[in-house]
Amino acid sequence: MTNHIISPDPDNADLYRILQARDHNGSLIEAPIIHERPLTVFLNSQEIVTLMTIGDHAEALALGYLFNQNMLPSFADVTSVDYEPDIETIVVRTSCETDFERKLKRKIQTSGCGQGTIFGNLIDTIEGQELEFGTTMKTSTLYPLLKTINMTDRLYLKTGAIHGCVLLKGSEPLLYMEDVGRHNAVDKIAGYMMRNNISAQDKFFYTTGRLTSEMVIKMVKMKIPILISRSGFTAWAVELARAANLTLIGRARGKRFIVLSGFERVEYDCQQNGIGLNASQLSPNAEPHI
């Protein structure tokens, strides 16, 4: 198990502002509001993107973003990462120039849920990839895991307006990242895993956001075999997940959930009445229609 464990830091005053407001009774109150700021990412000499972020773990965010956009093959190619918080800029330098430096124009991503701009041929890069079968998820592990995540002291409880993502091994959360967009939170974890050489093969991933095609692509790129969310799915996400043998578990709240792909990784050792999709009654290769 890795010794590098990161948890949310709700007491970090740099991540939010205190503003005066009035509550539902008209009373004057002080409200903590999440601080949103730009981070411009350069790959060598080329400006790649401006991300709107809460401002923590900037190096992990930049590395994870470049990796998940297929611009950075591996951390081994990185020679330096220079972060200048005063000018909200980070420069990732590699041992040799990449194609993206010549091809890409400047793109700006906002903090909205539509921020996941897919560059180039990302879908082509995961086509034909299938995740390994080794890792499984027991329902007796999943239920307390969801409770642990929900009980974690996090910035969301103080400010709202942000998403959280968690890297897990068995019943233990290893990395818990938050940001204004779920894609940023995923990329922070990806970048941290790259920098600290953390294997994905025996890990699970949890997100508070919905399960879209972009989330599936990121998981396949990161080689994480099980993705869990309290939110729902898109049909394209399910199609991509089935093609890549990614286990997709959504609408996971309390002791209810739905599995729409990778059914063989879920072990129903603590089954409840009315628990989502009864995949235990399916043959290993059967897939419900969507």
Question: HEC string of the chain?
Answer: CCCCCECCCCCCHHHEEEEEEECCCCCEEEEEEECCEEEEEEECCEEEEEEEECCCCHHHHHHHHHHHCCCCCCHHHEEEEEEEHHHCEEEEEECCCCHHHHHCCCEECCCCCCCCCCCCCHHHHHCCCCCCCCCCEEHHHHHHHHHHHHHCCCHHHHHCCCEEEEEEECCEEEEEEEECCHHHHHHHHHHHHHHCCCCCCCCEEEECCCECHHHHHHHHHHCCCEEEECCCECHHHHHHHHHHCCEEEEEEECCEEEEEECHHHEECCCCCCCCCCCHHHCCCCCCCCC
Q: What CATH number does residue 216 fall under?
A: 3.40.140.10
Q: Which of 226, 224, 219, 208 has the alpha carbon at shortest distance from 137? A: 226
pLDDT digits (tens, 9 = 90+) for 48-93: 999 999 999 999 999 999 999 988 878 888 999 999 999 999 999 9
Q: Return the structure tokens found at 40.
A: 């411009």
Distance CA 12, CA 15 (A): 6
The model carries a pTM of: 0.86
75 occurs within a structural domain: no
Residue 274 lies in a domain: yes
| 128 located within any domain | no
User: What is the pLDDT at residue 171?
Assistant: 83
Burial of 37 (0-12, 13-18, 19+ CB in 10 A): middle
- Domain boundaries, position 240: 137-281
Kindly state whether residue 186 falls inside one of the protein's structural domains. yes
Query: What confidence score (pLDDT) does residue 133 get?
Result: 84
* 289 part of a folded domain: no
Structure confidence by residue, pLDDT tens digits, 184-200: 999 999 999 999 999 99
Other C-beta atoms closer than 10 Å to the C-beta of 32 total: 16
Predicted pLDDT at 270: 83
Those residues of the chain that have pLDDT short of 70 are: 1-4, 99-121, 271-290
pLDDT of 1 reads: 39
Residue 258 lies in a domain: yes
> Nearest-CA neighbor of 217 among 69, 115, 107?
69
Cα(116)–Cα(134) distance, rounded to whole angstroms?
A: 30
Q: Does residue 52 form part of some domain?
A: no
Domain assignment present for 174: yes
Number of domain units in the chain:
1
pLDDT of residue 156: 93
pLDDT of residue 162: 94
Q: For residue 129, give both structure tokens.
A: 């990839």
